[in-house]
């Protein structure tokens, strides 16, 4: 069994925050792959289904971001899962908006949700890092992540989330490369080859001016 965790904050006021992109990723996977209805359990909302032949549990902790690990630990303990079975989807300041990377283990880089997961299940889980960009100064980070995406961002967000859903079965099977390829195909679709320009029609020959005198024309007429 696989446990996919989306990090975010519960409640309508946070729904479109940059910090909630992890929630949105799981919601897209659930819609696209026919998962069951969301139910309250493990201090969060869960939805069950199949991805790539693997039974998969989607979990959105409702403990608020900095206590996310409590919810994840409860689910992992109930299903006897190890960190190797768990993938966390989260916002990433150090990646440009729309960029995505998969990482196994490592530090939490100051992300409160990841810090909580580290405290409760250790660092060896897999992460899907979803780029949201950086506001430019650390003092502006809190306001930035707790602010809604701009309307202009929704186009790339939609492509990215669809790509995540497309590749989710590969991720559940443990093939991060195929997952990344699926995301790239949605985010950066191959360009169609440009059609060769149509050949221009041949231009008619330029007429040559007839400068003969009337007498020359008469002589040439009798010669022909």
Per-residue model confidence (pLDDT) at position 43 = 97
Q: Are strands 44-51 and 39-41 parallel, antiparallel or unpaired?
A: antiparallel
How far CA 134 is from CA of 13, 67, 138, 139, 145, in Å, comes to: 22, 23, 9, 11, 9
Determine whether 19 is an active site residue: yes
User: Active-site residue among 19, 33, 90, 111?
Assistant: 19
Mean pLDDT, to the nearest integer, of 21-37? 97
For the chain, percent of residues with pLDDT exceeding 70: 85
pTM for the model stands at: 0.83
For residue 210, pLDDT over 70 is answered with: no
For the chain, percent of residues with pLDDT exceeding 90: 82
For residue 198, pLDDT over 70 is answered with: no
**81: its two tokens:** 């899962």
Summarize pLDDT for 169-195 with one digit per residue, the tens. 999 999 999 999 999 999 887 665 455
Going from N- to C-terminal start, the domains of the chain cover 2-187
The architecture that CATH gives domain 2-187 is: 3-Layer(aba) Sandwich (3.40)
Summarize pLDDT for 82-135 with one digit per residue, the tens. 999 999 999 999 999 999 999 999 999 889 999 999 999 999 999 999 999 999
For residue 203, pLDDT over 80 is answered with: no
Per-residue model confidence (pLDDT) at position 60 = 98
Alpha helices in 123-172 (DSSP H): 141-145, 154-172
Average of per-residue pLDDT values in the chain? 90
């Amino acid at each position: 069994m696989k446990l996919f965790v989306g990090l975010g904050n519960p409640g309508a006021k946070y729904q479109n925050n940059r910090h909630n992109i992890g929630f949105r990723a799981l919601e897209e996977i659930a819609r696209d792959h026919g998962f069951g209805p969301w139910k309250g359990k493990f201090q969060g909302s869960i939805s069950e289904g199949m991805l790539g032949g693997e039974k998969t549990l989607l979990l959105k902790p409702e403990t608020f971001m900095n206590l996310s690990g409590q919810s994840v630990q409860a689910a992992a303990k109930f299903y006897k899962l190890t960190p190797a079975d768990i993938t966390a989807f989260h916002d990433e300041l150090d990646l440009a908006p729309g960029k995505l990377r998969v990482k196994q283990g490592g530090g939490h880089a100051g992300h409160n949700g990841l810090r909580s997961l580290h405290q409760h299940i250790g660092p060896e889980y897999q992460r899907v890092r979803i780029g949201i960009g950086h506001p430019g100064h650390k003092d502006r980070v809190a306001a930035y992540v707790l602010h809604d995406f701009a309307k202009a961002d929704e186009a790339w967000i939609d492509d990215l989330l669809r790509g995540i859903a497309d590749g989710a079965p590969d991720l559940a099977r443990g093939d991060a490369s195929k997952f990344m390829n699926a995301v790239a195909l949605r985010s950066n679709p191959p360009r169609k080859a440009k059609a060769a320009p149509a050949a221009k029609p041949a231009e008619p020959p330029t007429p040559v001016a007839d400068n003969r005198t009337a007498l020359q024309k008469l002589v040439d007429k009798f010669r022909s």
